[in-house]
A = this chain, B = another copy of it.
Amino acid sequence: MFSKTSQYTLRALVYILLENSKGRNPGFREIAREIDSPAEFTGKILQDLARKKIVSSAKGKHGGFFLTEAQRQISLRTIIEHIEGENIFQSCGFGLKYCDAANPCPLHEEYATIREQLQQYMNSHTISHLAFQTDGQRIYLKREAL
């Protein structure tokens, strides 16, 4: 469904926010350890996200990653679109050059519905929503193998 890059991104940002709320700005090695992702690759991803102003970073001693108040308002949709491309929530599930409800592919009915649902969710939720679930249930950012 989502690429590894998107998955590492979401996990990393949730971890960053959770640590920020404890007053800490974690570095990429710590982040990678805590979300179980390859450290250098995670560093690269965060570098990209910082360039795109989706996350903030501080260099030097006591540096690390953090989310400003404004960045905490960015929708998951915007974040994912930065990674997967602008039209991830518009493209045809069957692989046609574009999705056209008036001239649909055989999957359109079902696919467009699901795509729309996902898009709605991503559009109305943020990293904060992921990090601080309303039901207060403990959430997991990594998992041991079976």
Query: Which residues of A are interface residues toward B (Cβ below 8 A)?
Result: 1-2, 4, 7-8, 10-11, 14, 91-98, 100, 103-107, 110-111, 114-115, 117-118, 121, 130-131, 133, 137-146
Cβ B93 vs Cβ A106 within 8 A = no
In the complex, the chain B residue whose C-beta lies closest to that of A103 is B140
Chain A interface, DSSP helix/strand/loop, else mixed? loop
Copies in the complex: 2
Bound CA span A94–B11, Å: 7
Contacts of A7 in B (CB 8 A): 93-95
Q: Smallest Cβ distance from A101 to chain B, in angstroms?
A: 11
Cβ B14 vs Cβ A97 within 8 A = no
Q: Smallest Cβ distance from A93 to chain B, in angstroms?
A: 6
